[in-house]
């Protein structure tokens, strides 16, 4: 699978809630790096996706820019939107993934959690 297609499946299928894809899209020794959290393996990844969706209904993750490929690295910008307590909210973020043997081996994310928090406080 082309790395662009791999990333699109990662973002548009897995992050839109098809957590069963985790084992197919990431390596067994996958490591995901969030600002204050590291996640290891497909099972922890599936759990973190479910956790991210839990407070929201009508979740939609869209691809805004990319994917941009440089060797084994892929970068992109995305937007997450969902409804919480009757209020539609959205925030954006940036991903970098490292691909190894046709799967995602490592992931780094930076997202606008402060912007999300401000929307939820209104």
Domain boundaries, the chain: 3-121
- Which residues touch 110 (CB under 8 Å, ≥6 apart)? 35, 93, 94
- Which residues touch 108 (CB under 8 Å, ≥6 apart)? 33, 95, 96, 97
Give the position of tokens 């973190």. 48
Reported as a single tens digit per residue, the pLDDT across 29-61 is 999 999 889 999 999 999 999 999 999 999 999
CATH level 3 topology of 3-121: Nuclear Transport Factor 2; Chain: A, (3.10.450)
Rg (alpha carbons) of the chain, rounded to whole number: 14
pTM: 0.91
């Amino acid at each position: 699978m082309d790395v662009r297609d791999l990333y699109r499946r990662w973002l548009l299928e897995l992050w839109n809630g098809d957590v069963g894809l985790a084992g197919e899209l990431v390596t067994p020794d996958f490591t995901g790096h969030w600002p204050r959290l590291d996640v290891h393996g497909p099972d922890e990844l599936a759990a973190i996706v479910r956790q991210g969706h839990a407070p929201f209904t009508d979740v939609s993750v869209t691809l805004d820019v990319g994917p941009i490929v440089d060797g084994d690295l892929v970068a992109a910008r995305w937007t997450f939107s969902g409804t919480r307590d009757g209020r539609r909210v959205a925030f954006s973020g940036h991903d970098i993934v490292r691909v190894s043997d046709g799967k995602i081996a490592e992931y780094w994310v930076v997202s606008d959690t402060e912007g999300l928090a401000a929307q939820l406080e209104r």
